[in-house]
């Protein structure tokens, strides 16, 4: 008759005469036969656990099953590895579980100690990864890998997996290998996309390409050695089509255009300007107008003034010099001569000049003399009545 199983399991001693819940030292409780036995013969996977004095299929934590003696031991025999996951002394660690044999501790580990690397070919911890297969060290997991996993890249010089390939190299996302940049690029994103350019020879970075000069439509930013559009020139600098650079002071006959961020040509008659309609000085063959702040070209190299399509040294009679200081305009028909504007008479042909106008009769208080209306005085008897041009004679 089997010893009772409740309220606790018990095992038979002395041929069944005594039932005990804990077999004495040297004997082991068998769960199927419910006896305390010298050996565990229930199955091929039954081991003697001297910690519990029981026959067990899995040894207690910190104990390991020896397949040769079918017992649980604290330390596995020489030449075998203690595997904490299975609690078995193994001849080789289970690669299927990604466990590596650590020869320094004779244990199976999921991550090799610092300075050693897990070889996925034979599932052992080794000092350096083999070149032929699994040739790169992945320090984050202390393993040898055939191809570095993302986001790492294989660095051939050190045979390690790195996050940053360093100067002169870039990480190829397809092969996960560090490759050389183009010789013109100290740093790059790929073989065809530079991030910086060499300074010997001096090259400029233009949208991923290193060039000796910036392409048309872009300008050299000498501070960053890059080619930029004018609108991206640094503050206070303007794109110059003369030097093809971002510059602080525009060349002669150009002005800094704050809208386009470019050095823009002044009007052709300006020697200098602050805008497309504001000259500050004129070329030698042009005259400056205070009215418009523009320069107007002379009629010819030797004769400044223009009237009716012809060039003159001075404006002809019956014309005046307008705001351009170059063009002569015809006076009002009543004026013999005029200035500033057509109706601002300075002399008259058949009438009297009065207050810059030509009048046929001088007003009261004025008398005619030399084609002008002069103010009356006490010794001018003819001031007693208005006189017309026809009834007086010029003196």
CA–CA dist 57, 30 (Å, integer): 11
For residue 230, the tally of other CB atoms under 10 A from its CB is: 19
Domain boundary among 39, 74, 109: 74
Identify the top-confidence range among 44-48, 198-202, 230-234. 230-234
Q: 247 lies in a domain? A: no
Round the average pLDDT of the chain to a whole number and report it: 90
10-18 average pLDDT score:
85
Residue 386 has pLDDT above 60, yes or no: no
**Structural domain boundaries enclosing 380:** 331-395
Q: 390 lies in a domain? A: yes
Position 134 scores a pLDDT of 66
CA atoms within 13 A on the CB side of 280: 8
pLDDT tier, 4 (very low <50, low <70, confident <90, very high otherwise):
confident
Domain count, the chain: 2
Contact 56, 73 (CB under 8 A): no
Going 194 to 196 to 198 to 199, the CA torsion angle's sign is positive
Domain boundary among 17, 45, 74: 74
Residues 105-133 pLDDT 10s: 999 999 999 989 998 888 999 988 887 66
Position 271 scores a pLDDT of 96
pLDDT tier, 390 (very low <50, low <70, confident <90, very high otherwise):
very low
268-279 average pLDDT score:
94
Least confident of 42-46, 156-160, 266-270: 42-46
Q: 91 lies in a domain? A: no
DSSP collapsed to 3 states, the chain: CCCCCCCCCCEEECCCCEEECCCCCCCEECCCCCEEECCCCCCCCCEEECCCCEEECCCCCCCEEECCCCEEECCCCCCCEEECCCCEEECCCCHHHCCEEECCCCEEECCCCCCCEEECCCCEEECCCCCCCCCEEECCCCEEECCCCCCCEEECCCCEEECCCCCCEEEECCCCEEEECCCCCCCEEECCEECCCCECCECEEECCEEECCCCCCCEEECCCCEEECHHHCCCCCEEECCCCEEECCCCCCEEEECCCCEEEECCCCEEEEEECCEEEEECCCEEEECCCCEEEECCCCCCCEEECCEEECCCCCCEEECCCCCEEEECCCCEEEECCCCCCEEEECCCEEECCEEECECCCCEEEECCEEEECCCCCHHHHCCCECCCCCCC
283-307 average pLDDT score:
92
- More confident call, 154 vs 133: 154
- Looking at the chain, the whole-number percentage of residues with pLDDT higher than 70 is 95
- More confident call, 340 vs 44: 340
Residue 149 has pLDDT above 50, yes or no: yes
Residues 57-111 pLDDT 10s: 999 999 999 999 999 999 999 999 999 989 999 999 988 888 999 999 999 999 9
Domain boundary among 74, 96, 122: 74
217-240 average pLDDT score:
96
Position 128 scores a pLDDT of 87
Position 207 scores a pLDDT of 94
Cα 220 from chain centre? 16
CA–CA dist 25, 79 (Å, integer): 29
Position 17 scores a pLDDT of 83
Q: 394 lies in a domain? A: yes
Q: 228 lies in a domain? A: no
Q: 373 lies in a domain? A: yes
Q: 35 lies in a domain? A: yes
Q: 267 lies in a domain? A: no
pLDDT tier, 31 (very low <50, low <70, confident <90, very high otherwise):
confident
pLDDT tier, 8 (very low <50, low <70, confident <90, very high otherwise):
confident
- Backbone φ and ψ for 96, nearest 5 degrees, come out as -60, -25
Position 382 scores a pLDDT of 62
345 closest CA partner among 354, 363, 357: 357
Position 7 scores a pLDDT of 83
- Looking at the chain, the whole-number percentage of residues with pLDDT higher than 90 is 71
Contact 119, 146 (CB under 8 A): no
Residues 162-211 pLDDT 10s: 999 999 999 999 999 999 999 999 999 999 999 999 988 899 999 999 99
Position 293 scores a pLDDT of 93
CA–CA dist 52, 70 (Å, integer): 15
Position 395 scores a pLDDT of 37
pLDDT tier, 392 (very low <50, low <70, confident <90, very high otherwise):
very low
345-372 average pLDDT score:
92
Residue 1 has pLDDT above 50, yes or no: yes
């Amino acid at each position: 008759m089997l010893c009772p199983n409740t309220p606790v399991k018990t095992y038979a001693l002395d041929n069944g005469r005594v039932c005990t819940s804990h077999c004495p030292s040297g004997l082991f409780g068998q769960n199927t036969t419910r006896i305390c036995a010298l050996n565990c013969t229930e199955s091929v996977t039954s081991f003697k656990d001297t910690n519990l004095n029981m026959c067990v299929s899995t040894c207690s934590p910190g104990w390991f099953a020896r397949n040769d003696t079918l017992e649980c031991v604290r330390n596995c025999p020489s030449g075998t590895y203690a595997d904490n996951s299975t609690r078995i002394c193994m001849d080789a660690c289970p690669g299927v579980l990604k466990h590596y044999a650590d020869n320094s501790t004779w244990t199976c580990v999921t991550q090799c100690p610092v300075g050693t690397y897990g070889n996925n070919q034979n599932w052992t911890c080794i000092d350096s990864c083999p070149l032929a297969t699994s040739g790169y060290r992945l320090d984050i997991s202390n393993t040898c890998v055939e191809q570095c996993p993302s986001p790492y890249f294989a660095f051939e010089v050190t045979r390690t997996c790195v996050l940053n390939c360093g100067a002169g190299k870039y990480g190829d996302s397809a092969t996960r290998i560090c490759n050389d940049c183009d010789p013109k690029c100290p740093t790059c994103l790929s073989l065809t996309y530079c991030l910086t350019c060499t300074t010997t020879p001096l090259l400029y970075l233009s949208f991923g390409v290193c060039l000796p000069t910036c392409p048309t439509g872009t300008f050299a930013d000498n501070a960053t050695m890059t080619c930029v559009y004018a609108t991206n020139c640094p503050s206070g600098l303007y794109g110059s089509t003369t030097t093809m650079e971002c510059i602080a002071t525009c060349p002669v006959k150009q002005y800094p255009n704050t809208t386009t961020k470019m050095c823009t040509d002044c009007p052709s008659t300006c020697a200098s300007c602050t805008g497309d309609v504001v000259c500050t000085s004129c070329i030698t063959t042009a005259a400056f107008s205070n009215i418009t702040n523009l320069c107007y070209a002379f009629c010819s190299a030797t004769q400044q003034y223009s009237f009716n399509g012809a060039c003159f040294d001075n404006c002809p009679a019956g014309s005046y010099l307008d705001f351009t200081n170059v063009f002569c305009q015809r006076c009002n028909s009543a004026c013999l001569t005029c200035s500033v504007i057509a109706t601002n008479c300075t002399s008259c042909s058949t009438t009297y000049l009065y207050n810059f106008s030509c009048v046929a009769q001088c007003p009261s208080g004025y008398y005619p003399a030399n084609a002008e209306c002069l103010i009356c005085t006490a010794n001018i008897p003819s001031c007693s009545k208005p006189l017309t041009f026809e009834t007086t004679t010029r003196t």
